[in-house]
């Protein structure tokens, strides 16, 4: 009698960058520990089950708290995925939660024409603690990366799969630490993993990677009583982009035109000014209120419903492509990877 062949297990590449998930307790608080994830994974029995994907683990050295992750590390992750892209069904990136939404956004712009999932996850409680969220985030993240056809950079956390450039960290201690305020979840992991198929992007054709460069970018959050003069000195020709977190639909205090004078200096310097809302949900639409007139005068553009994380990383991306200012401004207002939707007026 012919032996039934076991179906081939899918393969996932896990890239461990650091973060709480693999941290240990030290005299100075939690800190990442090399070798820890490898040994913890070898003890999780479920991972050797035939319906779980097989995996290879790449551990970075040093492992980082995600506060220290920026353009250099995004580039490294991008290169590591590109090199191994054909060898795996999907990628799972273990990452600290503090800046995970930035890395997810950056990778979503860095990669074009994706055909497989790149999923970031981590945890609020380290894997070594008896009660933790790490184990489920890891196991479910791995299952989704290996078994589902989701050609996007996503973030899996607290039972939700979120488009990477729509994610934002909303809690420093809840186990549901991330949300997607302006876009539906891509999947809910309840009793079953239910994909929200109509919101998942179509697979691409021929992966492309854009290498990011470092650029001077600033984020300025408006608050009542803000003394704009404080920020005058940062408006140099080196500043390539500034994201203004404005009130509501993109409004700023009049304050005798003080901000506008400063932003006009930014405009003369060739700095791209993008306006996002500081509300968790909704859009910044310049022109909706008179209180946004000064921003329009200074040549600012609407970030619509983009998260600040998406606006910042999109600036890095477009500046790295070396486009001229007008083209960058146009693309900042255009949906490139599902990161924004222009409201219909």
Binding residues vs ligand ASP (CB under 6 A) = 18-20, 65-66, 96-98, 122, 124
Query: Is 20 among the catalytic positions?
Result: yes
Q: How far is the CB of 248 from ligand ASP (least distance, A)?
A: 30
Residue with the CB atom nearest ligand ASP in the bound state? 96
Longest dimension (CA), the chain: 88
Which residue in the list 17, 20, 121, 307 is annotated as catalytic? Answer: 20
CB of 310 to ligand ASP, least distance (A): 19
**Alpha-carbon separation of residue 217 from 73, 243, 316, 326 (angstroms):** 17, 8, 8, 17
Pairing of strands 160-163, 187-189: antiparallel
CB of 61 to ligand ASP, least distance (A): 16
CB of 172 to ligand ASP, least distance (A): 8
- C-beta closer to ligand ASP: residue 175 or 296: 175
Residue 20 vs 132, nearer CB to ligand ASP? 20
**Closest by Cα among 195, 13, 24 to 118:** 13
Q: Which one, 123 or 140, has the nearer CB to ligand ASP?
A: 123
Active site residues: 20
């Amino acid at each position: 009698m012919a032996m039934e062949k076991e179906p081939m297990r899918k393969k996932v590449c896990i890239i461990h960058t650091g973060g709480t998930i693999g941290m240990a307790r030290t005299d100075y608080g939690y800190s990442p520990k090399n070798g820890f994830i490898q040994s913890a994974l070898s003890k999780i029995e479920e991972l050797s089950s035939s319906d779980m994907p097989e995996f290879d683990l790449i551990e970075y050295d040093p492992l980082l708290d995600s506060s220290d992750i920026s353009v250099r590390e995004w580039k490294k992750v991008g290169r590591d995925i590109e090199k191994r892209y054909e060898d795996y069904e999907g990628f799972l990136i273990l990452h600290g939660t503090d800046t995970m939404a930035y890395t997810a956004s950056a990778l979503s712009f860095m990669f074009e024409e994706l055909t497989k999932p790149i999923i970031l996850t981590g945890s609020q409680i380290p894997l070594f603690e008896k009660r933790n969220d790490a184990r489920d985030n890891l196991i479910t993240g791995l299952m989704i990366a290996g078994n589902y056809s989701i050609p996007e950079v996503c973030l899996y956390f607290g039972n939700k799969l979120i488009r990477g450039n729509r994610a934002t960290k909303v809690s420093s201690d809840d186990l549901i630490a991330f949300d997607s305020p302006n876009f539906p979840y891509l999947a809910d992991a309840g009793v079953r993993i239910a994909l929200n198929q109509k919101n998942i992007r179509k697979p691409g054709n021929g992966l492309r990677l854009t290498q990011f460069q470092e650029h001077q970018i600033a984020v300025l959050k408006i608050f009542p009583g803000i003394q704009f003069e404080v920020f005058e000195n940062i408006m140099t020709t080196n500043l390539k982009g500034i994201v203004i977190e404005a009130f509501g639909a993109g409004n700023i205090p009049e304050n005798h035109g003080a901000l506008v004078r400063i932003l006009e200096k930014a405009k003369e310097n060739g700095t791209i000014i993008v306006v996002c809302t500081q509300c968790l949900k909704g859009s910044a639409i310049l022109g909706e209120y008179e209180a946004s007139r000064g921003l329009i005068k200074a040549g600012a553009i609407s970030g619509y419903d983009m998260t600040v994380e998406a606006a910042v990383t999109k600036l890095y991306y477009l500046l790295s492509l070396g486009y001229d200012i007008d083209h960058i401004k146009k693309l900042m207002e255009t949906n490139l990877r599902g990161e924004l939707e222009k409201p219909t007026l």
